[in-house]
Amino acid sequence: MGAMITMSGDIGITIYPLALTTVIPLLIGLICYLLPNRYIRNVLVGIGVLSAIIGGLWLFFQLSSSGGVITLEIDRISLLGISFSLFELISALDFALLIGFLLIAWERRSYWAGLFALLQLIPLAWYEFMYMPSHADAHGSVAPVYIDYWSGIMCLIISIIGSLIVIYAIKYMEGQRNQNRFFAYMVGFLGAMNAAVFSNNLLWFFFFWEVTTLACYMLIKHEETEEALRNAKWALEVTLGGGTAMAFAIVWLGTMGTPVTSFTELLQASGTNIIPTMLILALAFISLAGLTKSAQVPFQSWLLGAMVAPTPVSALLHSSTMVKLGVYLFIRISPVFQHLPSLGYILAIIGGFSFMVTAILAISQNNAKKVLAYSTIGNLGLIILLAALHTPFSLTAAIVLTVFHAISKALLFLGVGVVQHETHSKEIENMDGLILRKPFITTVLLMGIMTMIIPPFGMFLGKYFAVQAGLEFPLIIFFIAVGSAATVVYYLKWIGRMINMETDAELTPEHMSILFSAPLVVMLSLAVIFSVLVAPVIESFINPTVKVLGFPATVSSAFYGTSVITPWGYITPVFIGLFLLAVFLVPLFAHMDRKALTKVYSCGVEYPTVIGGVYFERIMGEEKLNDYVNSLGVGLIAVLIAFGVLAITMSGVI
C-alpha cells in the first residue's frame, strides 16, 4: 500500500502486539461494514480474531519479560507523509462520536440521551479548546499507554473469550440480515475494548469507553424490532449518563492545581497526605460511571432490557467484556481506597446489595437470559465489593472472580443461545425435559452451571475467597450469605427443569455445527482446567498482577500446586475434583440391569405427569420487589454523591 507509519517516542517491540490487538480488529471492523460478501467477511472475521488472540498472548509474554509493566510514549504518527498527534486524533474522533450521539438522540427522540451527550460535549469542548492550550502543563507528561499484568489479563479475556464468541456468532447469525453491520461492531468492539484497557490517559480511556457504549447501542438494536429499539434507547440513555459523570470527573481532574490526566497521576495524587477535595468528588463520579457501566442497582434495568439482543451480543458485551470495563476501572483505581476507606465502604455496600438483591430477583424469572443477566449483575457486584475493600486478599479474590466469571458466564450464554437457536425459545418452562431432546447442549449447560455453584470450580472459589475477605469488613457477609443461597436456588431450579426425564426414555444425541460445539467445548475445558489447576494459575498470573497493582501477595499454592493457602484457611481443588470425576465416571462403566427399571410413584394410576416450574412471584417477583430495590439503590447512589460533594464543603481528608 505504500504507507509509511513512523512513530516518535520510546516504543520497542511492543507496538506489534499492541497493533494486533487494537488496530487490526478496529480496521477489520471497518472493512466488514463495507463488505456484503459472506465468505470474504467470514475469513476477515477469522483473521481479526486470530490477530487479537496472537496479539494478546504475545503481549503477555512481553509483560513477563519486562517485569510486569510496559509503558509506551506514543506521540505522533506519520501516515502517508502527514504527521499528526495521536492526542489530537483521539480528541477529534471523540467529538465526532459525541456529535454522532446527538444525532442518534435526535433520530430516536430521546431527550435524556441528547441531554447527556450535550453535557459531555460542552465541558469537554471547553476543557480541550480553551483550558488546555492556555495551560502548558495540562497535557501531562506521563506515557499515555500503560500496560501491566492487569491489562494483560483483561486483554487475554477479551481476545480469547471474545474470539470464541465471535466464531460462534458466525454460525448463529447465519441467514439474518445486516450481518456486515453486526460483525463490524462485534470485531471493532474487540479492538476498542483492548485499547481501553491499555489506555493510561484519561481522555483516551474515555473515548474508548464511549465507543463501547456506541457498539452496545448498535448491537442491541440490531434486529430493529420495536422492543429492540426501545431497549437500545434506554441502554444508551443510562450508559451515556455514566459517561457524563466520567466526563465531569475528567474535567475536574484536569483543572486541578496539579492536573491529573492519567491513571498513574490519579493514583499518585491520592497517595499524598492531604487529598485534594476535587479529587474526591471526581473519584465519586468515576465510581458512578463504573456503576452504570456494570449495571449495578439501581441501574440494572438497562442490562435486563438488553437481553433482547442476539445471544452472541449478550455473551460478549453483557457478561464477559463490556460490563467488565466497569470492574476493570474499579480494580485499576483500587489503591485509592486505601486512602479513602469510606468511599470504598460505600461502594462495597452498593456491590453487596446488588449481589443479594439480584440473586433473589432471579428466582422469579422464567426467561433464561434474564436469569443469566441477573446473575451477571450480582457477580459484578461481588467483584466491585471485593475491589472496594482494598485489602490485598480481597483484590486477589476480585481478580480470580473476574477471570472465572468471564469464562463461565460466556459459556452459559452461548449454551442458552444454542437452545434458543434450535428450539426457538429461551423460556425455562420450554426447556422441560431438554435432556431427552438435546442431550449434548443440556450436558454442557449442566456442567456450566455446576462450575458456578459447586466446589472445586472457579466461581465457588470466588465465593470462598469472598467469605474470607469478609473477615475484614463483616457487614458484607450478610449480603454474601443470602446471595449465595439464592444463587443455588435459581440455578438448581433451572437444572431441574432441564434434566426432568421419563422412565426408560432413550437419549437421542443431536447434531450440532462445529462452530457451535467447538467454542462451547473449549470454554468448558478452560473453565474446568483452570478451576482444578487454580493454584498454579494464582501463583503465575494473579499474584504478579496483585503485586504490580501495589499490593503484597497473600494467597499461595502448596503441595506442588494442588492446594491454595489463604491467610485464614486452605483448600485443595485437585483432591475434590478427583472425587467428583470418580463419581461421575463410574456410570460409564457400570452395568444397569434393565429389569430394575420401574415406574414413578403416582399413587398407582398412570396419568402422564405434567410438571411445571415454580417462580414464587408472590414474594420474590419483580413487581413486588422492584420498588424497594430501586429506591434503596437510588438512596445508596445519593450517599455516594453526597460523599463527594461533602468533601468539597468540608475540605479536608475523609
Partner 1 sequence: MDFWPAFIGFIFLLLAPFIGMLVIGLDRKITARMQNRIGPPVLQPLYDVIKLFGKEDKIVNRGQVVFAYAFFVMVVLATSLFCLRSDLLVIFFLLNAGAIFMVMGAYSTRSAFSTIGANRELLQMLAYEPIFLLVIFSIGYAVKSFTIDAIYEPLILKLPLALVAMVIVLMIKMQKSPFDISTAHTEIISGTMVEYSGTYLGLLKLTHWYELFLILGTMALFVIIPGNFVLSIIAMLVLIAVVYGIVMLIDNITTRLTWDALLKVALPLGIGLITANLIYVWYIGGA
Partner 2 sequence: MAEADGALTKISRLKSPWILHYDCSSCNGCDIEILACLTPYYDIERFGILNKGNPKHADVLMVTGSVNHRNKVVLKNLYDQIPDPKVVIVVGACGSTGGVFHNCYNVLGGVDKVIPVDVYVPGCPPKPEAIIDGVVKALEKLKALQDGTWKREKEKEKEKTEKDDAKEETEEAKKEEE
Select 273 or 503, whichever has its Cβ closest to partner 2. 503
Select 536 or 569, whichever has its Cβ closest to partner 1. 569
Q: How far is the CB of 449 from partner 2 (least distance, A)?
A: 29
What contacts 358, CB < 8 A, 6 or more positions away?
297, 300, 374, 375, 377, 378, 381, 483
Select 175 or 604, whichever has its Cβ closest to partner 1. 604
In the chain, the amino acid numbered 353 is F
| Peptide linkage before 456 cis (omega within 30 of 0) | yes
1 makes contact, choosing from partner 1, partner 2, none, with CB < 5 to 8 Å by partner type, with none
Q: In what order do the strands lie in the sheet with 82-85?
A: 6-7, 76-79, 82-85
Asked whether position 515 contacts partner 1 by CB under 8 A, the answer is no
Q: Which residue has the cell 430394575?
A: 596
- Report yes or no: 109 and 237 within 8 Å, Cβ to Cβ: no
Select 107 or 606, whichever has its Cβ closest to partner 2. 606
What contacts 294, CB < 8 A, 6 or more positions away?
323, 324, 325, 326, 327, 377, 380, 381, 384
Q: How far is the CB of 556 from partner 1 (least distance, A)?
A: 15
Q: How far is the CB of 317 from partner 2 (least distance, A)?
A: 49
Q: How far is the CB of 598 from partner 2 (least distance, A)?
A: 5
Number of residues lying near partner 1 (CB under 8 A): 59
What contacts 605, CB < 8 A, 6 or more positions away?
none
Helices (H), 149-262: 149-156, 162-172, 179-198, 202-220, 226-254
Select 213 or 408, whichever has its Cβ closest to partner 1. 408
Q: Which residue has the cell 441501574?
A: 299
Select 1 or 596, whichever has its Cβ closest to partner 2. 596
Chain-centroid distance of CA 98 in Å reads: 24
- Report yes or no: 153 and 545 within 8 Å, Cβ to Cβ: yes
Give the number of other CB atoms < 10 A from CB of residue 424. Answer: 8
Q: How far is the CB of 603 from partner 2 (least distance, A)?
A: 8
639 makes contact, choosing from partner 2, partner 1, none, with CB < 5 to 8 Å by partner type, with none
Show the binding pattern over residues 582-621: x = contacts partner 2 (CB under 8 A), - = does not.
----------------xx-x-xxxx---------------
Distance CA 631, CA 3 (A): 57
Which residues from 556-615 bind partner 1, rule CB under 8 A?
568-571, 576, 579-580, 582-584, 586-587, 592-593, 596-602, 609, 611, 614
Taking CB under 8 A as the binding criterion, the range among 34-42, 71-79, 453-461, 548-556 that sits at the site for partner 1 is 453-461
Asked whether position 89 contacts partner 1 by CB under 8 A, the answer is no
Asked whether position 474 contacts partner 1 by CB under 8 A, the answer is yes
φ/ψ of 635, rounded to 5, equals -60, -45
The residues binding partner 1 (CB under 8 A) are 433, 453-455, 460, 463-464, 467-468, 470-471, 474, 477-478, 480-482, 484-486, 488-489, 492-493, 495-497, 499-505, 568-571, 576, 579-580, 582-584, 586-587, 592-593, 596-602, 609, 611, 614, 619
The residues binding partner 2 (CB under 8 A) are 598-599, 601, 603-606
